């Protein structure tokens, strides 16, 4: 049966809004809520129905008003708010990055399905989607070959990344002066400086800043294939560093400084300087990944 995670997530969001006072007195119409939450009206109605049932809101002659206070126990547990597909993704990444899965292992849909507690179909869909990341290969009628999160993988990934990033950085720097992207870049620069000041407590926030920065650079000259490739990078980094937090603060601090140099180089419109800053940053990102790969390989995974 299809999960009702969309409903539960929406319910939790409305509950939070009620609790935070973002919704007070008379509630907005179903359509307005629908837009706000990004779900269908059907789902909104289901949420409202449950809220009435639990007396979190009251309904009198077609008018809905807030009801009793929201309690912690009103929320659905987080695990129930993500779809099966997302669960599969998470479990697979954990299996891949944490387990002692060696390159060359063959992957068995049925076995993973049993292990993850889902139907084989879901596994297969995930593997198909995931195969564009270059870590898997399908052998028809037979199964999947896991190629491993290896040094080669990282090197090949970064070779492309450098090509794309240099191209995008140069195009960015050649934008007209009145392009709105320059302002966005300036704003990002400020955000970097802020973060650097508070690095002790906020170093976790770097990851999203990093993402915004690299995506901004691509905005000047969109290319869907480059965007797609950046999705791969984000994905890889997201999961990889989620399980490998070694030295995180230091790493991020260094990266911020590199970004700042890179931003200055962009603003200078000096092509050679830009190339140097860009390469320097990517080389260091690559080193970091490679080093952590080695740590990772040797890590005791049965902890």
The residues binding its own copies (CB under 8 A) are 6, 121, 124-125, 128-129, 132, 134, 141, 153, 156-157, 159-160, 163-164, 167, 223-226, 228-229
Give the one entry of DNA, its own copies, none that residue 160 binds, where binding means its C-beta sits below a cut-off of 5 to 8 angstroms depending on kind.
Answer: its own copies
CB of 130 to its own copies, least distance (A): 10
What binding mask, one character per residue, do residues 37-76 give for DNA by CB under 7 A, x or -? --xxxxx-xx---------------x-x------------
Q: Edge-to-edge, what's the strand order for the sheet holding 106-107?
A: 106-107, 143-146, 136-139
Binds 167: which of its own copies, DNA, none (CB < 5-8 Å by kind): its own copies
Partner in contact with 250, chosen from its own copies, DNA, none, beta carbon below 5 to 8 Å by kind: none
Q: Which pair of structure tokens corresponds to residue 96?
A: 């891949």
Footprint on residues 237-276 left by DNA (CB under 7 A): none
85/261 with CB nearer DNA:
85
Decide whether 9 or 240 has the Cβ nearer to DNA. 9
Return the residue of 29, 198, 242, 250 that touches DNA, per CB under 7 A.
29
- Closer residue to DNA in complex, CB, 82/211: 82
> Residue 108 touches which of its own copies, DNA, none (CB < 5 to 8 A by kind)?
DNA
The interface with DNA within residues 86-115 (CB under 7 A) comprises: 107-111
Phi-psi sector, 62: left (phi>0), alpha (psi -120 to 50), beta: left
* Other CB atoms within 10 Å distance of the CB of residue 298: 8
Nearer to its own copies, 191 or 232 (CB): 232
Q: How many amino acids of this chain bind DNA (CB under 7 A)? A: 41
Q: Please identify, using beta-carbon distances, which residue of 25 and 140 lies nearer to its own copies.
A: 140
In DSSP notation, the chain reads ----HHHHHHHHHHHHHHHTTSS-SBPPPHHHHHHHHTS-HHHHHHHHHHHHHTTSEEEETTEEEE-SPP-GGGSPPGGGGS-HHHHHHHHHHHHHHHS-PPTT-EE-HHHHHHHHTS-HHHHHHHHHHHGGGSSEEEETTTEEEE--S-HHHHHHHHHHHHHHHHHHHHHHHTS-TT-HHHHHHHHHHHHHHHHHHTHHHHGGGHHHHHHHHHHHHHHTS--HHHHHHHHHHHHHHHHHHHT--TTHHHHHHHHHHHHHHHHHHHHHT-HHHHHHHHHHHHHHHHHHHHHHHHHHHHS-TT-
- Position among 72, 104, 141, 200 found at the interface with DNA (CB under 7 A): 141
The one among 52, 58, 118, 260 contacting DNA by CB under 7 A: 118
Integer Cα distance of 91 and 79 in angstroms: 13
Does 25 contact DNA by CB under 7 A? no
Is 32 near DNA (CB under 7 A)? yes
Residues that bind DNA (CB under 7 A): 1-8, 29-32, 39-43, 45-46, 62, 64, 83-85, 107-111, 117-122, 124, 140-144
């Amino acid at each position: 049966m299809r999960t009702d995670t969309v409903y539960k997530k929406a319910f939790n969001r409305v509950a939070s809004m009620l609790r935070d006072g973002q919704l007070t007195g008379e509630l907005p119409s179903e359509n307005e809520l629908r837009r706000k939450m990004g779900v269908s009206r059907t789902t909104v109605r289901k949420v409202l129905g449950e809220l009435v049932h639990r007396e979190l809101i009251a309904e009198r002659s077609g008018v809905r008003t807030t009801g009793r206070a929201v309690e912690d126990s009103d929320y659905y547990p987080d695990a129930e708010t993500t779809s099966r597909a997302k669960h599969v993704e998470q479990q697979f990444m954990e299996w891949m990055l944490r387990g002692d899965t060696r390159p060359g292992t063959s992957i068995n849909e049925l076995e993973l399905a049993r292990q993850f507690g889902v139907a084989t179909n879901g596994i297969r869909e995930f593997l198909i989607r995931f195969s564009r990341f270059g870590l898997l290969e399908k052998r028809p009628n037979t199964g999947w070959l896991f190629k491993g999160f290896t040094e080669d993988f990282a090197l090949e990934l970064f070779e492309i990344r450098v090509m794309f990033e240099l191209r995008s950085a140069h195009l960015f720097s050649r934008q007209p002066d009145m392009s709105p992207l320059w302002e966005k870049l300036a704003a990002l620069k400020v955000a970097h400086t802020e973060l650097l000041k508070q690095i002790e407590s906020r170093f976790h926030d770097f990851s999203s800043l990093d993402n915004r920065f690299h995506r901004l650079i691509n905005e000047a000259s969109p290319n869907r294939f480059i965007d797609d490739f950046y999705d791969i990078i984000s994905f890889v980094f997201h999961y990889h560093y989620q399980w490998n937090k070694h030295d995180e603060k230091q790493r991020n601090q260094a990266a911020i400084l590199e970004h700042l140099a890179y931003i200055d180089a962009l603003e200078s419109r000096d092509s050679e300087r830009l190339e140097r800053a860009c390469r320097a940053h990517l080389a260091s990102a690559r080193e970091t990944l490679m080093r952590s790969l080695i740590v990772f390989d040797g890590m005791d995974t049965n902890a």
